Amino acid sequence: MPFQTHLFIDPNTLAVSARRCKRCIGCKKIVLASNFHRAVRGKVTSRCKACYSTYHAEKNEKMRSLPLRDRIELSVNRANRRSRLRKSVGPPLNVDDAVAKWTGKCSNCDHDLTFDWWPRQPNDDLAIIDRVSTRENRSYHQNFTWLCNACNSEKGGFDLCEQKDREIEVLQRKLSQARKRAREESIPYASILHPV
């Protein structure tokens, strides 16, 4: 819903001011534009700041009330979706394997994991299923570990290193082939100095 301009009258001075407002889909009230969070492309959220917090708190509360296996299953589904998007090779990860490996702690830093997700926050403790080896673009099947979001984000750098290493390997191979070709095609220096 777009913004509307509303006129406000100051009860003390009777001064009139025009302010941008919008109706919140949560509380249905007309709320000042500044009471919405900013969203992408200059837009704002459809819920006012207060309703936005309540909405996500309730969502997390609902998540916490689910059995652990169901929460793990949601993570597994997300991981398998990532695999499909990346066109990874190998079978999908199954829930039993993910449950078996779950200790409630990050396998890297040993921090307690949670399934809570809060928008506009780093969510460092969020449980993430991560691939151990990304070199051959293998799926998560027998190639996964539970990480906290903080360790997973940090590991992004290592993934990048692995990718760059691979690019360097390819370039080095091309370079040595080019050098070999250059050697084969070159004319001996002596033949230029003393034409036969």
Nearest CB to Zn ion, comparing residues 83 and 114: 114
Nearest C-alpha neighbor of 120 from the set 36, 26, 37, 25: 37
What are residue 76's DSSP bridge partners? none
Q: State how far Cα 36 lies from the chain centre.
A: 24
**Binding of residue 44 to Zn ion (CB under 5 A):** no
| CA-angle at 83, arms to 143 and 41, nearest 5° | 130
Interaction with Zn ion in 86-115: which residues (CB under 5 A)? 106, 108-109, 111
> In this structure, are residues 63 and 116 in contact, taking their beta carbons and an 8 Å threshold?
yes
Task: Please state the closest distance from residue 51 (CB atom) to Zn ion, in A.
Answer: 3
Interaction with Zn ion in 135-194: which residues (CB under 5 A)? 148, 151
**Binding of residue 68 to Zn ion (CB under 5 A):** no
Count of residues near Zn ion by CB under 5 A: 11
> In this structure, are residues 83 and 60 in contact, taking their beta carbons and an 8 Å threshold?
no
Q: How far apart are CA 135 and CA 191, in angstroms?
A: 48
Task: Please state the closest distance from residue 46 (CB atom) to Zn ion, in A.
Answer: 9
Task: Please state the closest distance from residue 122 (CB atom) to Zn ion, in A.
Answer: 12
Please state the length of the chain.
196
Nearest CB to Zn ion, comparing residues 157 and 188: 157
Task: Please state the closest distance from residue 125 (CB atom) to Zn ion, in A.
Answer: 8
Query: Which residues would be at the binding site for Zn ion (CB under 5 A)?
Result: 24, 26-27, 48, 51, 106, 108-109, 111, 148, 151
